[in-house]
Amino acid sequence: MNLAKQIYSHTPYDGTFCQDALNCKFGRHSKSGDDCVKTFCESSLLIVAQGLKNITVGQRTYQVGKSQMILIPVALPVVFHSVQASQSEPFLNIGIKLNPQKISELALRLYPQGINDVQDNGTGFMTNCDVNIINAVNRLTMCLSNPKEAQHIAPLILDEIVTRVLLSPIGRQIVQSGFADSNTKQVIKAILWLVKNYSQPVKVANLAKLAYMSESLFYRSFKVITAMTPLQYQKSLRLYEARRLMIAECMDAVTASRLVGYMSESQFSRDYRRLFGNPPKKDVLKLRAQPLYSF
């Protein structure tokens, strides 16, 4: 069974379907043109099996279609816009959750000296999938039918997939962006702390200490990896989580804003409108009727 058929068989309707046993998600979406979905994605590899989407990461937009992949090395805000999808031929994808520390470790192992000849830096990395990556992803999805394989074989296949991605053309771009730099592993520790503790007050100086780096070096390295300052990154985490709580948990804006760390309802509303284009209540009413999308 090819990858598109496998994904279709696990997605009975439009939306995102978590496969926790494999650390992945299957996506199916049948509308194009008007939809524009903003979300905060974990470190992930997205592989498209059918259809076409524009995916914006940081300041860059990538058009990702069949047999192409895009890697987001750390958790970042992402915007999806369908270009090619229909009821008869929906957009189908698999999103594989990655560990940014594992990416950095493998990058250091594969490129111990780093590289100097790649100029295309960015927060997202896109290329065509070669047959070996597609075959590995197919083997990963087939582990769903066997719990023992999902437990023992799937992690080995995930390492194979990441290794093959790092040996692909985008692997060199990832390394160029700093993932074969020992400083990056330390910055990632701070990023992972922020992802888990976004509601807590934080100072850049304390994050730098967590990363065992000077404040100035930490600040510069953080911006290279995320295209944001640490405080901008924390604000994005808070706003996306508040939005998720209001949509998925039917929570009101005041409660959601308090849970993610805001002390001022008016400040939350201003920041929310600035990021999503509408005040919380109007935005959430519109989105509750749509399937949540992530990868």
- The rounded distance, in Å, linking the Cα atoms of 32 and 50 is 13
The residue-averaged pLDDT of 282-286 equals 84
The residue-averaged pLDDT of 75-86 equals 91
User: What pLDDT does residue 103 have?
Assistant: 87
Poorest-confidence range of 52-66, 89-103, 107-121? 107-121
Q: Is 118 left (phi over 0), alpha (psi -120 to 50) or beta?
A: beta
User: What pLDDT does residue 176 have?
Assistant: 75
- The rounded distance, in Å, linking the Cα atoms of 73 and 176 is 13
Going through the chain in order, the beta strands assigned E by DSSP cover 15-19, 24-29, 36-41, 44-50, 52-57, 60-65, 68-72, 76-84, 91-97, 125-128
User: What pLDDT does residue 108 have?
Assistant: 85
Q: pTM for the whole thing?
A: 0.85
- The total number of residues shown for the chain amounts to 295
User: What pLDDT does residue 294 have?
Assistant: 56
CA 86 from centroid of its chain's CA atoms: 24
pLDDT bracket for residue 1 (50, 70, 90): low
CA atoms within a 13 Å half-sphere pointing along the CA-CB vector of 151? 3
- The rounded distance, in Å, linking the Cα atoms of 67 and 47 is 7
Could you report the per-residue pLDDT of 101-144, keeping only the tens digit for each? 888 888 888 988 777 655 555 688 999 999 999 999 999 999 99
Look over the chain and give the mean of its residue pLDDT values, rounded to a whole number.
89
- Give 286 or 129, the one with higher predicted confidence: 129
Query: Where is 251: in which H helix or E strand?
Result: none
pLDDT at 191 over 70: yes
Q: What are phi and psi of 285, to 5 degrees?
A: -60, -40
Which residues, in sequence order, are CB contacts of 295 under 8 Å at separation 6+?
16, 25, 27, 41, 44, 46, 93, 95
Single-letter amino acid code for the residue at 94: I
pLDDT at 211 over 70: yes
- The rounded distance, in Å, linking the Cα atoms of 71 and 46 is 6
pLDDT at 34 over 70: no
